[in-house]
Structure 1
Amino acid sequence: MAVVNRESLSDQAARLLLARIEDGEWTVGQKLPGETTLAPQLGVGRSTVREAIRQLAGQGVLASRQGAGVFLLARAPVDDWESRILKANIASILEARLAIESEASSLAAQRHTHEDLEAIRVALARRRADRVSIAARVDADTAFHRSIVAAGRNEILVELFDTFAERSRDAMIQMLEFNGEAPTARDDAVHEDIVDAITKRDATSASELSRAHLLALRDGALQEELRDGRADADSG
């Protein structure tokens, strides 16, 4: 069994897995072995296998079904906008969110109506309450940030946010599952500060707070990727 090199572990793992698929090791519709089986076969850690599977799911080759496993959908990848997002690492996804949301927060501070502000506050309250699962946390957080983008009254930014949020949802869930971090008072305070800046029509602060929040998430994701790469190298 071939083992990946240290460079671009998840990309190489995805290529090795795709080669096995193209060789007919599994039939369309068949369930693939679990991460604990594939990881030693590919010579990488489980998290790298998970990322490789996510890449191939983004290409329409695999499908992850919650509670059931990973299944083969097709033998060849289909590359499109959705797959490019799903193949991106979480840091790249957060950087794209940063570009959308920092500007949207500034516009929301300048343009919001009373009704917009009420919608933002309701979404903030739901964000604090909807924590029964990681998926619920992601959905509530997305709804909160969308309320801010909508208050900016720029249809293009809203469309970009909706398209991007829908296609990056699984990646955000995977990031939280991997980190295993519960919501913190500091995280709540950051979001409250963003709402406060929007309420005061302080466009500069709203933008800077949104940017700082997403940069912190991005930096945390980069550190996780670095630690994961070191762990894979040590196990290789």
Structure 2
Amino acid sequence: MTQIQKKSLAQEVSERLTEGILNDMYAIGDQLPIEPELMKIYGVGRSSIREAIKILSIKGMLSVQQGVGTFVVSKNIQESLEAQMSNAEIEEVEEVRSLLEAKVAARAALNRTEEELKTIKEYLELRNRFAEEKLASECYQADINFHFAIAEACGNKLLKEIYKIASRQVLRVFEISHNNNTDAFRVSQKLHTDLYNHIKNRDAENAAITAQKIINKLL
């Protein structure tokens, strides 16, 4: 087997391993060779082998059993959540975000730090400024960053990551539905300010209610 050359060693190793699994070089239930053997086969270092195995574990093809070895468990590659979100219909992405919005806002009100609150306020003010100046792309990004900052403050890493992935796709909604117009963002600035104030005052109930109002205006 030829050695890997140049860029993205871990990714290339993962692709070679995938080919091997799909071609039954490694059948389901088989244990992969140990790291030193894989290093010789692919001509890469230990870190590249470990990262390649991690990639395929996340995709659901491999299972790492500590102290035992790495085993092939599936030929079906599980598409990452972000990739699925990217390929989803806008309505599906918005539905996911709607389900998460109130929970994220409520948790942010309870868990936010003063530094996180400061960041939320900075993006709130940028959102308003860009909306007033009719700078559409800057306004859209500031709005996304405002909601990102709230997600960062929610205190639940998994919830935060799922929310952030969904929110990244919301830019598609803005670009398609608002057509470089910031009017809706100027109108909704008060709601966003109310949300900030509820988070500032650690009012989880009203933060959740206000966050849901914001989403309902988008849907």
1:90/1:172 contact within 8 Å kept: no
1:157 aligns with 2:159: yes
Match of 1:188 in 2: 189
**Residue type at the aligned position of 1:205:** N
Show CA shifts across 1:146-195 (max 9, x none).
Answer: 11111112111221123223334223311211x94524554110001101
Match of 2:141 in 1: 139
Q: Deviation at 1:145?
A: 0.6
**Residue type at the aligned position of 2:160:** V
Show CA shifts across 1:53-107 (max 9, x none).
Answer: xxxxxxxxxxxxxxxxxxxxxxxxxx87556434544333222112222111000
Aligned-partner SS, 1:130:
helix
What percentage of aligned pairs have identical amino acids?
23
- In 2: Cα distance, 1:150 partner to 1:80 partner: 21
- In 1: Cα distance, 2:153 partner to 2:201 partner: 14
Note closer, same or farther for the CA distance 1:83–1:160 as it changes in structure 2 (3 Å cut): closer
| Structure 1 residue runs of 4 or more that deviate by more than 6 Å after TM superposition | none
Match of 1:90 in 2: 90
Match of 1:207 in 2: 208
2:93/2:169 contact within 8 Å kept: no
Aligned residues: CA RMSD: 2.4
Tell me, which stretches of 5 or more residues in structure 1 are unaligned?
A: 1-78, 219-236
2:108/2:155 contact within 8 Å kept: yes
**Residue type at the aligned position of 1:209:** T
Larger Rg: 2
Tell me, which stretches of 5 or more residues in structure 2 are unaligned?
A: 1-78
- In 2: Cα distance, 1:216 partner to 1:130 partner: 20
Aligned residue among 173, 176, 179 for 1:174: 176
Aligned-partner SS, 2:155:
coil
Note closer, same or farther for the CA distance 1:127–1:171 as it changes in structure 2 (3 Å cut): same
Note closer, same or farther for the CA distance 1:106–1:115 as it changes in structure 2 (3 Å cut): same
- In 2: Cα distance, 1:108 partner to 1:82 partner: 23
Aligned pairs for 1:7-26 (under 5 A) are none
- Give the TM-score normalised by structure 2: 0.56
Match of 1:148 in 2: 150
**Residue type at the aligned position of 1:187:** S
1:142/1:165 contact within 8 Å kept: yes
**Residue type at the aligned position of 1:204:** E
- In 2: Cα distance, 1:154 partner to 1:142 partner: 19
1:194/1:209 contact within 8 Å kept: yes
**Residue type at the aligned position of 1:188:** Q
- In 1: Cα distance, 2:108 partner to 2:81 partner: 27
